[in-house]
Structure 1
């Protein structure tokens, strides 16, 4: 990868620089992953109640952009190595939707979501330990056979060769509060392209969360539809919990507008959106209905170009993302 190109990309996850958390008390994960041809799976060994106890409201509130953990943006941009050297093509399979809903209104480049509806329960903040530091991303609960799947970004489950530890999903997160519970992951998954080379075209991740008090995640918060192999350059909504200025990670933010297809380093969707670090993994919806807060997820917040402020990019959900989803919902 050319170093000049690597400096142009920044991921949108969040993390914390704090001496007190440099050696987390609970961070036990079996690092060996079982990677099939179509998905990479990480089996989490830490007990769910230990992970829940670890993530206090104070730790959640303190999460700040993971970009700040890195001394050089080039380190973050290394995730784009495979596409910088040669654009990879995302496979286009048979169009599939599970299922979606109606009309929408436009546009916004970033504002708190005050419309209520299903999205305030299915979307949430993700917390984990990255390189010994408490970090955060965003995620969303989707329709699944096991009622336990959260879709997020690949770098929100694994980055720089290591699976994140103490991974937990907090749907409806509100300034340290967890109105719909805290859901520790028992498995985290990503595409083989992300696991092997951190190819930004495949920056998609998933988690299968444990039951809480005998209930499954989507029985409590509901689930959004999810779609694969859809069209491009469509109108979409995106949501997340950005934690870098001017945001603080305390509330759900959204953008909406017509999308473009990235013509630089990836084949990702792009949107005019000013969400910052911490929003990574938040859902992109087709056919989002503002009156009900429901839509069909077709991407996640992934990265932005340093030289192109005000734009967000998210991977195309093709056959690889579909295989990831199918592996997660049957796990």
Structure 2
């Protein structure tokens, strides 16, 4: 996605292990959300009529032409970054970019393994326009849960419609089919003020041809309260130049905690618009293509080019996941 000098923006894209992934709940470090119980997630139940429309809406041509939205954070969202009063101004925030991988900063994933089928593109209608993000299928009780970014399900006060997940998207082709959302969920903090620290969302998708999502594509494990400063792999389908959304892109490297304005993870990366919502993994095995998901592609600062940020999966993200997987 493009970076702007005076406006804030957010990215959009998707990603997802083999069946039998495990949920990690290590408490290596306290979550930034504190010790009080996390509030319940905000939910949109997708009307049956819309679900039926979504199943036929996304033609190959519509998917190819979907725009990686160049979104702008609201003033409330910018204030949620808690900029020091002495700074004199609010930082410009832009859509996340992909991590600077070793040996390359944002390159095609040429390996095999579960990540090829568990990750994918997310498509939806936003304010009358077709748009895209990324997402990832995770292990869950309902075998139907996709994790993505908050702005990939709701933005500027409006829930996105015609929401589908296309695992292993391949230049207009959907080798594992298009999975229609029955519910989309986001954190209360994103719902209330688009707080970038909680830019996380989930979708529960309907069965396809009588089978549930993770029985078809597999599922990655997920971890909460796992701490900072980890080796990370980030995946997504960036669709803004120099990328075109046709390939799964990844970055890898050592992450750190944002020392400026948010509580997010930070990773060197140059992914562009459309990669938002793509998964960040710790403990990733390049041979099997599996790991534990601990964040999603979320945003970047204009004054820190080639660096991406993703929300910390603490108690709030866990409450969101728990509500989604119980749906």
The answer to whether TM tops 0.5 is yes
- The match for 1:55 among 49, 54, 58 is 58
**Equivalent-residue separation in structure 2 for 1:327 and 1:225 (angstroms):** 17
Contact 2:236–2:248, Cα closer than 8 Å, also in 1? yes
Paired residue for 1:275, among 260, 271, 275? 271
- Listed as ranges, the matches of 1:220-235 within 5 Å are 220-235=216-231
Q: Which runs of 5+ in 1 are unaligned?
A: 15-35, 88-104
Q: How far is the alpha carbon of 1:79 from its aligned partner?
A: 6.5
**SS of the residue aligned with 1:65?**
coil
- Shift in Å, 1:10: 2.5
Measured in 1, the distance between the counterparts of 2:199 and 2:276 equals: 10
Q: Which consecutive segments of 4 or more residues in structure 1 shift more than 6 A? A: none
CA distance in 2 between counterparts of 1:193 and 1:54 reads 31
Structure 2 partner of 1:172: 168
Q: Distance in 1 between matches of 2:215 and 2:323?
A: 20
User: 1:237 & 1:254 partners in 2: Cα distance?
Assistant: 7
> Quick one: distance in 1 between partners of 2:185 and 2:159?
9
- 1:155 pairs, out of 129, 151, 161, with 151
Matching residue of 2:213? 217
Shift of the alpha carbon at 1:13?
2.0
Once the two structures are superposed, the pairs formed by residues 108-187 of structure 1 within 5 Å of their partners are 108-187=104-183
TM, length-normalised to structure 2: 0.83
- Post-superposition Cα deviations, 1:76-110, rounded to whole Å, max 9, x if no partner, equal 464632424468xxxxxxxxxxxxxxxxx945320
Return the offset for 1:116: 1.2
Contact 2:81 2:195 in 1 (8 A): no
RMSD: 1.9
Aligned partners of 2:74 and 2:194 also within 8 Å: no
Alpha-carbon displacement from aligned partner over 1:181-208 (angstroms, at most 9, x marks no partner): 1000000000000000000000000000
1:318/1:179 CA distance change after superposition, 3 Å: same
Aligned mates of 2:130, 2:76 — CA distance in 1: 20
1:83 aligns to what? 80
SS in 2 for 1:11: coil
**Structure number with higher relative contact order (C-alpha < 8 Å, ≥ 6 residues apart):** 2
Taking structure 1 as the reference length, the TM-score comes to 0.82
- SS at 1:150's partner residue? strand
CA contact (8 A) 2:74 2:156 kept: no
Note the 1:13-52 alignment, pairs <5 A.
13=12, 37-47=39-49, 48-52=51-55
Identify which range, 261-270 or 178-187, moves more after superposition: 261-270
Unaligned regions of 5+ residues in structure 2, if any? 14-37, 85-100
Determine the C-alpha separation between the residues in 2 that align with 1:126 and 1:79: 26
What is the aligned partner in structure 2 of residue 312 from structure 1? 308
Are 1:200 and 2:202 matched, yes or no? no
Query: How many pairs align?
Result: 283
Say whether 1:12 aligns with 2:11. yes
